[in-house]
Amino acid sequence: MTARSPLVGHADLGRPVAWRDGAPVSCARFLAEAAQLAERLPAGAHLVNLCEDRYRFAVALAAALLAGKTSLFPASRHDAALRRAVAAHPDCGAIADAPAPVLGDRLLDFPADLGGAAWSGPVPAIDAQRVAAIVYTSGSTGEPRPNAKRWGHLVASARAECAALGLTAGDFSVLGTVPPQHMYGFESTVLLPLAAGGALHPGRPLFPRDVQAALERLPAPRVLVTSPLHIRACVEADIALPPLAAIVSAAAPLAVELAAAAERRFATRVMEIYGFTEAGQVAARRTTATQNWRMLDGIRLLGSAADWAVEGGPVHGRVPGSDLIRRLSDTEFVLEGRAADLVNVAGKRASLGELNRALTAIPGVADGAYHVPEGAGRDSARLMAFVVAPRLTRREILAALRRVLDPAFLPRPLVLVERLPRAPTGKLPLEALRALERAAGRDRDR
Amino acid sequence: MTLHTPFEAEIARLIVESVNLETPAGEIDPTAPLYGEGLGLDSIDMLEISLAIGKQYGVALRADDEANRQIFASLRNLAQHVERHREK
């Protein structure tokens, strides 16, 4: 017999899966909508899910599972990323709640008329081995790599996260400021409430006042799933938030001072999640209490330093990590350094190799390099770039980059230079880039 | 290009300084969209700008409905909104 995992982990069908405008949406309603949508999905074994509304995203995910389809989350909703997804899965359909003209006839606008009779049967169970989703990551070669996620692992991972965050399964509500299509947001704002019996908020607030208003429409215990950038904004905005069971942070390193300030200001615990798309979330910690990361239940740590891997529990097979760690035991480690090539801007990950490739692929760009500015300890730090392009203006280069990159990775500033200080081997020493950076800073200040 | 009012010029300088923008403040078209194709700002920038506006003028921005999103349709809209609601 095949192992199966439930589509939702709620104790009974009357429990809320979501809160919309302050009103609960029950499991029974959610399952009925998902079942109806499953009948109306476009043809094909894959479904690109671009829904921005988190509840619709969850309905489309569940509908795809019921229809036997694999959901696809492109690296961004940028045309180039969508074209790549379609090229890799020529049979795919797509669903969205905002225009995405590049997808043409494949695209189903999320139907406004789902509803009808509430679901009254048992909660559907999905084959645990089924590939529920493919999430794309930036590889150092520049080509996005697909990561297949099995439903059984996703469910087990969400349950382990619930325990690691100190939440009670079946009794919490989640507000997210991060998109559901990236691994962190997928796990912590969609799978966590679905699999551990919680309820989600459909929105994705931007400003601190928006976060405050959205939290006020959720019942306690509330969890805010966010990034260091938004935590800083909420702390600096000096607003009062409703009582929070936890603030969850991931995607970029969180300064312990900021975590402490948020804990004081909002009388809550700030929990940090560590993960990488290939393995998913693997460890958690309370930032103000310890520098040690503890593995989620069932995951074991193998190896140390730059040569390590995780396996067991919700991890599929043995998955190598790329950051630098110091292993303390099977279940604990200290993070000693982030992989040099990977950069994070407000929760979006890319490799410098990929960005440099996009930059130098622009006609008229003779040479170019992205650079992480010195002292860029700040969570929202932008990347800068040095470009050799005698016949192009900065505006033209930025326009060309905007066509192929997520806006978070547009360089700021973009500095035009006569040449890059390459060593004879062609390498660009970090010190030389820092000298260029300081020179650019002096020009700006004059 | 339409000229800036003195307060639009002030907000333009605040935008340029808070997000480290390439465009000189005086060259920001007061009627062009701040987001996307216009000035090229994204939501991370808007968050930075909102913090600066909060500190400088005591105005807490929101973006969770259509009326609030119109505030960011242009420098002119944003400046008018801040001027109307400023507490500092």
CATH code of B28's domain? 1.10.1200.10
- pLDDT for A214: 97
Under DSSP, is residue B41 helix (H, G, I), strand (E, B) or coil? strand
User: What are the CA-CA distances from residue A191 to residues A6, A221, A320 (Å)?
Assistant: 12, 17, 23
pLDDT for A341 beyond 90? no
Q: Is residue B45 part of a domain?
A: yes
More confident residue, A338 or B59: B59
Q: pLDDT higher for A428 or A317? A: A317
Q: Which residue has the higher pLDDT, A142 or A83?
A: A83
Cross-chain Cβ contact B60/A236 below 8 Å: no
Give the residue carrying structure tokens 């019942």. A219
Cβ separation of A408 and B51 shorter than 8 Å?
no
Report the chain B residue with the minimal C-alpha distance to residue A202: B64
b/e code A264-292 from CB counts within 10 Å (16+ = b)? ebbebbbbbbbbbbbbbbbbbbbbbeeee
Sheet holding A384-388, edge to edge: A367-371, A384-388, A414-416
Which domains occur in chain A, in start order? 4-337 (3.40.50.12780), 342-445 (3.30.300.30)
The per-residue pLDDT for A446 is: 46
Q: What is the pLDDT of residue A340?
A: 66
- d(CA B11, nearest CA chain A) in Å: 18
Which tens digits make up the pLDDT trace of A359-369? 988 989 988 99
- Provide the residue range defining the domain that includes B45: 6-85
pLDDT tens digit string along A239-283? 999 999 999 998 777 889 899 999 999 999 999 999 988 899 999
Between positions 162 and 221 of A, the ones with CB within 8 A of B are 203, 205-210, 213-214
Tell me: the pLDDT tens digits for A395-418? 899 999 988 888 888 898 899 998
Residue B56 lies in a domain: yes
Report, as an integer, the average pLDDT of A20-43: 96
Give the pair of three-digit tokens for residue A224: 């805010």
Segment A104-157, tens digit of pLDDT: 999 999 999 997 788 999 999 999 999 999 998 755 445 677 899 999 999 999
Distance CA(A19)–CA(A199), nearest Å, equals 7
Split into its structural domains, chain B has a count of: 1
Asked if B20's CB is within 8 angstroms of A206's CB, the reply is: no
In a domain, residue B1? The reply is: no
Over residues A165-191, mean pLDDT: 95
Report yes or no on B80 lying in a domain.
yes
Cβ within 8 Å, pair A410-B20: no
Beta bridge partners of A312: A315
Average pLDDT of A225-251? 92
DSSP state of B70: G
- What mean pLDDT, rounded, does chain A reach? 90
Task: Return the pLDDT at A65.
Answer: 98
Given a cut of 80, whether residue A74 has pLDDT beyond it is yes
Whose tokens are 């409703």? That residue is A242
